[in-house]
Amino acid sequence: MAVTDIATRTYNHNWRLDPIVRSLLDTDFYKLLMLQMIRHLYPDVRATFQLINRSTTVRLADVIDEGELRAQLDHARTLRFSKKELIWLAGNSFYGQQRMFAPDFIAWLADFRLPEYELRAVDGQYELRFEGPWTETTMWEIPALAIVNELRARAALRGRGRFALDVLYARAKARLWEKIERLQQLPDLVLSDFGTRRRHGFLWQRWCVEALKEGLGERFIGTSNVLLAMDADLEAIGTNAHELPMVLAALAGSEAELRRAPYRVLEDWQRHYGGNLLVVLPDAFGTAAFLRDAPDWVAGWTGFRPDSAPPIETGEAILEWWRAHGQDPREKLLIFSDGMDVESIEAVYRHFHGRVRLSFGWGTNLTNDFRGCDPEGGSALDPISLVAKVVEANGRPAVKLSDNPAKATGDPAEIARYLRVFGEEGRAARAVSV
């Protein structure tokens, strides 16, 4: 990929619409994996997703022009998968598996388009909702987050001079390269880019990916961004997300079904995928509850991706759980991806190195770390904690408890009901920065 002069590109925003999302492949790989399974098993389920700004002090509706936001969302709805993209999806090998995506799924994607959206400004924030078939609304999550984050960055940089922008990006590039030099000191590091959702912008994410590819070589194993994986000849990385257990829990008809929902998701998943795609995301309703009630067969899965709890503490609990189930942790995989940056990557690597197979997903702190880089100062470019979560399934409320109550989503009464079912063991509030 040719390297773009990002400062010049930012300075030259003179056209009516500069699309933020230019391809439906500009999404995370797990979205396509989940979509294939959802279409196969739950084609009639309806799901509503909603934008949630956890950084409530940042009033997005005061920063981002509503007309610009609508124009970007409307443009995304005009996109279709191209023949080149579908041929690449159909013919490429992912995780060592040929034809990961079935021919009927590829054919269905050819006619796919993002569904309608609902948008309004309320008290300085945007209420952005996507309601419709789960097979359609699930695909809004990543482009919607990318659009809102990049529009915020563009608003902060509007009117800046050419040299101020040059200095800004030079500082950000130097900061990233200093991080890469530190990571070069970890000889067995395995790292991938997970930074699509809350990136500063597409061009910046592409620069970061190219820098990692050069700076870390084989230790950089790929990117979650499917378009960048295709363009840069990298592995597309990803497994599954919280929305699967959240939807199945919402559809549960009894407390017994609710308690079983996280494991039903895994049963569904292993009917479709295997190998290194058999990675458990345990924290939707609390990691302690998941490990307490997990069937023995879950221990045979390849690994875990702990999220929303202190990484070393949670990793140790998972290692102990594997040992109690007759598994050798050295043959298992732990993927750490929650708010990771170079300091936490170093700490976790040194703690677990040689005791378990390790991999890191580097997200917001890779693709959106401009803190202290702005010549004009201020925090307008600091990353925020912005998510798009499923809030309803077939008209029933969806809940995420999380190991961190600050990340919980859902109606308070439903959250209380879920806590009665799953318990509060291991949950502890922590500040959420990204």
Please give the sequence-ordered ranges of beta strands (E in DSSP) within 41-83, or none if there are none.
46-53
Phi, psi (deg, nearest 5) at residue 233: 55, 50
Identify the pLDDT of residue 5: 83
Q: What CA–CA distance (Å, rounded) separates 385 from 113?
A: 27
Identify the pLDDT of residue 177: 98
C-beta neighbour count of 225 within 10 angstroms: 32
Identify the pLDDT of residue 1: 64
- If DSSP codes are grouped into helix, strand and coil, which group holds residue 386? strand
Q: Are 240 and 247 in contact (CB under 8 A)?
A: no
pLDDT tens over the chain, length 434 residues = 666 788 887 766 655 689 999 999 999 999 999 999 999 999 999 999 999 999 999 999 999 999 999 999 999 999 999 999 999 999 999 998 888 999 999 999 999 999 999 999 999 999 999 999 999 999 999 999 999 999 999 999 999 999 999 999 999 999 999 999 999 999 999 999 999 999 999 999 999 999 999 999 999 999 999 999 999 999 999 999 999 999 999 999 999 999 999 999 999 999 999 999 999 999 999 999 999 999 999 999 999 999 999 999 999 999 999 999 999 999 999 999 999 999 999 999 999 999 999 999 999 999 999 999 999 999 999 999 999 999 999 999 999 999 999 999 999 999 999 999 999 999 998 888 88
Q: What CA–CA distance (Å, rounded) separates 270 from 287?
A: 20
Q: What is the b/e burial string over 347-360, where b = at least 16 CB atoms within 10 angstroms of the residue's CB?
A: ebbeebeeebbbbb
Helix (H) or strand (E) holding 398, with range, is none
Contacts of 95 (CB under 8 A, 6+ apart): 235, 275, 276, 277
